[in-house]
């Protein structure tokens, strides 16, 4: 699953799955353009990659701004000569509450970050990949809204389910361009975004029991699945909703 010389954008790169992917992709030869809101943390990760003889640069910004999506691609082109891979990973859980209590602002914030932000990424990444003769787009979706529904997570579920629909349409539209498009569906993962689900022992154990493996994933485990989808090892994989969920979807009893 080598990425030797492949120019790769990773959003949400300062924590969790995105941070793990930045390290892993660099180890496998990718030339990285890292995106997130925290410039100081981005700079730290870029320095770490360079210290291990990797190639990386970063641009801080907000994925809900289309100009930022365009700027990431421009950075890839100006720094590394083009773009081969887009790992659109940035996302939020959003406000957790019943739909009847949810404000329109809370709804829009979650969808705009998770779904519209990914749309902006793909919109600007695909033309750059087409110019290179092909590429790979990966979205971080979720098992929530696909195999399981959790109370209070309607906005999150809708945004992540929307990514799967967009994945399928983009895969069909751009297959002739030799551009593969896939959605990655992690199970419960120990990341800062998971909040109490991963930091509180009782909550973490409850989530672990939802999985056939009876544990939550480490970010590096999900990053390895993203590496597969991004690499030529997945050369005949497109339009997929790839579960990396520790058997969450089939564990209906403890």
Kindly list the catalytic residues: 156
Q: Judge whether 166 and 117 are in contact, CB under 8 Å.
A: no
Tokens encoding 110: 């979650």
Q: Judge whether 219 and 190 are in contact, CB under 8 Å.
A: yes
Angle between helices 117-132 and 154-174 (to 10 degrees): 20
Nearest alpha carbon to residue 185 among 236, 235, 148, 134 = 148
Q: Judge whether 22 and 56 are in contact, CB under 8 Å.
A: yes
Tokens encoding 219: 């970010």
Mapped onto helix, strand or coil, the DSSP state of residue 33 is: strand
Look at the alpha carbons of 144, 150, 154, 155 in this order and tell me if their dihedral is positive or negative: negative
Task: Please report, for residues 106, 155, 194, 225, 250, the alpha-carbon distance to residue 239 in angstroms, rounded to integers and kept in the order given.
Answer: 29, 23, 27, 15, 22
Task: Please report, for residues 13, 36, 46, 47, the alpha-carbon distance to residue 40 in angstroms, rounded to integers and kept in the order given.
Answer: 12, 10, 10, 11
Sheet of strand 31-36: strand arrangement = 55-60, 31-36, 7-11, 85-88, 135-140, 179-186, 241-244
């Amino acid at each position: 699953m080598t990425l030797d010389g492949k120019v790769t954008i990773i959003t949400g790169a300062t924590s969790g799955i995105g941070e793990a992917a930045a390290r892993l992709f660099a180890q496998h030869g990718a030339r990285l353009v890292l995106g997130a809101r925290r410039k100081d943390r981005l700079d730290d990760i870029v320095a770490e990659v360079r210290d291990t003889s990797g190639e990386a640069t970063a641009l801080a910004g907000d994925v809900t701004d289309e100009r930022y999506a365009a700027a990431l691609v421009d950075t890839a082109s100006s720094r590394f000569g083009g773009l081969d891979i887009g790992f659109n990973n940035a996302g939020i859980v959003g406000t957790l509450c019943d739909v009847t209590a949810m404000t329109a602002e809370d709804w829009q914030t979650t969808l705009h970050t998770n779904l519209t932000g990914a749309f902006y990424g793909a919109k600007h990444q695909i033309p750059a990949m087409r110019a290179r003769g092909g590429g790979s787009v990966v979205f971080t979706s979720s098992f929530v809204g696909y195999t399981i529904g959790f109370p209070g997570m309607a906005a999150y579920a809708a945004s992540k389910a929307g990514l799967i629909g967009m994945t399928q349409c983009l895969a069909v539209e751009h297959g002739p361009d030799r551009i593969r498009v896939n959605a990655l569906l992690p199970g419960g993962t120990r990341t800062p975004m998971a909040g109490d689900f991963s930091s509180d022992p009782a909550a973490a154990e409850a989530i672990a029991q939802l999985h056939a493996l009876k544990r939550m994933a480490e970010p590096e485990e999900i990053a390895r699945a993203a590496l597969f989808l991004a690499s030529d090892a997945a050369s005949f994989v497109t339009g997929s909703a790839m579960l990396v969920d520790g058997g969450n979807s089939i564990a209906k009893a403890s």
